Amino acid sequence: MNTEFDSTADRVVIIGGGPGGYEAALVAAQLGADVMLIEQNRCGGSAVLTDVVPSKSLIATAEMMDEIERSDGLGIRIENSEDTEAGARRVTADLEAVNKRILSLADAQANDIYEGLIRAGVKAIQGKATLAGRDQVHVVESGGTEYTLEASTILLSVGAHPRELPTAQPDGERILTWTQLYDLDELPEHLIVVGSGVTGAEFASAYRALGTEVTLVSSREKVLPGQDEDAADVLEFVFRNKGMNVLSRSRAASVTRTDDGVEVVLADGRRVEGSHCLMAVGSIPNTEGLGLEEAGVRVSESGHIVVDGVSRTSRAGIYAAGDCTGVLPLASVAAMQGRIAMNHALGDAVQPLKLRNVASNVFTAPEIATVGFTQQNYRENPTDIDTVMLPLDTNPRAKMLGIEDGFVKIFARRGSGSILGGVVVGPRASELILPITMAVENRLTVDQLSASFVVYPSVSGSLTEAARKLHRHL
């Protein structure tokens, strides 16, 4: 069936229902546009179904296991049951139950997003969409209905998928991508994680806390290349201290199935055997076959859609948001890109995306949260920037909680004292980074931060203490 829909002055067609897409749809609907959102799977996209929501739910379980492990230092004793070997942990993770809960949470979140879109007046369509020109989108619904939509504005928010190597093809059973982990019903005996970026580090941390033996294969000198070096040092120390086998400067050449597991062959000839292997070697944008070339939308060599600060592509009227743009692979950034795009397209007040103000978090144990200026910026401008790093083990509340690893770091402009950025390493660092983010966003000074009252005792007290130390340095 082919149908032509008449164009409208403010018809917005959004391809992709992830954070960039559904947040854009809500903004466009609020501004009075006729909004149609097309998603192949379910609203929320991979962020909700196979990526952010599931992984962070798994990590939440791992965090609880980690806290139980640390409880001995607080004087809490978990007695061994009669049928447990002496010295063995009585607390274990039931991965089948864990994954069932994870998928249930993802399902509920997808439903909530869909219902929110419908209440806002968005027409949510399940199907595949491709560009058919500057202002046309061809749609094939999941039921087979086929038609072309005319639009005044088009937003592309199609996300990305895990990169696969020809010498390490995932099979969904032993060799896995991060989208396939939730099909496991038993904890891997020995999980080999190939890739020490954010995804690899997070899953390595989580599965080690759940009780799995973990080997992390890192092609770089340190885990988390690109992150704050002091933070990476702390995390690698914690990983090794918890019994994780971290293979630095070790590139995986191939991964193959064995009779009862997997074998990873490294570039230098070494071989590592395990029960399962997680491939965490980056992602590829879902831009192939989208009709970008026909529509005149420019892409980079990596296949990412090129956008400017207000999410415009090279083709007027077509915008893009999220991981398919390669700007910054964070759900929060995708959502902001989508909102900015709709505000710009529909004539509302808008400011370009400010990447300097983006707060991000690595959900390992301990967590690593960052915003603004980095250690690299400091090295490049040592006469203009000052910094202080304050270990958390000096904080009274951290001592009470048994927190031994972590720190607070603040970067400030020398002279004016304006806060340029910061790093927090520790439990719930994702919550502690907010005051620094607000300081960066609002150009507060270290004196203004240090003059703010904090609860005593509290871990957040380290933020104001670091600010006071910076005042003495400026």
Partners of 214 in the beta sheet?
191
Q: How far is it, in rounded angstroms, from Cα 441 to Cα 421?
A: 10
**Has 25 been labeled as part of a binding site?**
no
CA distances from 388 to 53, 421, 471 (A): 34, 11, 10
**Has 3 been labeled as part of a binding site?**
no
**Has 121 been labeled as part of a binding site?**
no
**Has 195 been labeled as part of a binding site?**
yes
**Has 56 been labeled as part of a binding site?**
yes
Token pair listed for 405: 């690893």
**Has 399 been labeled as part of a binding site?**
no
**Has 415 been labeled as part of a binding site?**
no
Q: How far is it, in rounded angstroms, from Cα 392 to Cα 156?
A: 43
Contact 299, 292 (CB under 8 A): yes
Nearest to 62 by CA among 160, 235, 205: 205
**Has 200 been labeled as part of a binding site?**
yes
SS (H, E, C) 232-267: HHHHHHHHHHCCCEEECCCCEEEEEECCCCEEEEEC
Token pair listed for 49: 């179904």
Residue environment code for 207-217, b if the CB has 16+ CB neighbours within 10 A, otherwise e: bbbbbbbbbbb
Work out whether strand 11-15 and strand 2-4 pair parallel, antiparallel, or are unpaired. Answer: unpaired
**Has 283 been labeled as part of a binding site?**
no
**Has 291 been labeled as part of a binding site?**
no
Token pair listed for 291: 């009709």
**Has 259 been labeled as part of a binding site?**
no
* Residues contributing to the annotated binding site for FAD: 56, 323
* Residues contributing to the annotated binding site: 56, 195-202, 282, 323
* Residues contributing to the annotated binding site for NAD(+): 195-202, 282
